[in-house]
């Protein structure tokens, strides 16, 4: 195997949509959990998170091509 192929096998690339902020592609080491991703992008825990449209636990293992939607919880009064 080539070095490029080995590197691709060891990383996970996911699309991260932070509502009201930005859309980015995050590349991390495989295995990559949702909790680790949230820590890396600096969310503070007051968000609703979905992976490919489904609510999952923070220990959910992400796969290349997943889309993570991060929506800040809105407080009103």
In the chain the domains, ranked by start, together with CATH numbers, are 3-72 (3.10.20.30)
Please give the torsion angle defined by the CA atoms of residues 68, 64, 33 and 47, in that order, rounded to the nearest 10 degrees.
-10
The pLDDT assigned to 15 comes to 97
What is the phi/psi pair of residue 59, to 5°? Answer: -90, 5
pLDDT over 50 (residue 1): no
User: What pLDDT is attached to residue 37?
Assistant: 94
pLDDT at 36: 94
Question: What are the pLDDT digits (tens) for 6-63?
Answer: 455 689 999 999 988 899 999 999 999 999 999 999 886 778 999 999 999 999 999 9
């Amino acid at each position: 195997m080539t070095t490029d192929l080995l590197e691709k096998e060891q990383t996970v690339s996911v699309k991260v949509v932070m509502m009201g902020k930005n859309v980015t592609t995050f590349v991390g080491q495989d295995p990559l959990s949702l909790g680790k991703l949230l820590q890396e992008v600096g969310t503070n825990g007051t968000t609703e998170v979905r992976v490919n449209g489904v609510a999952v636990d923070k220990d959910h293992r992400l796969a290349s091509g997943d889309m993570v939607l991060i929506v800040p919880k809105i407080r009103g009064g």
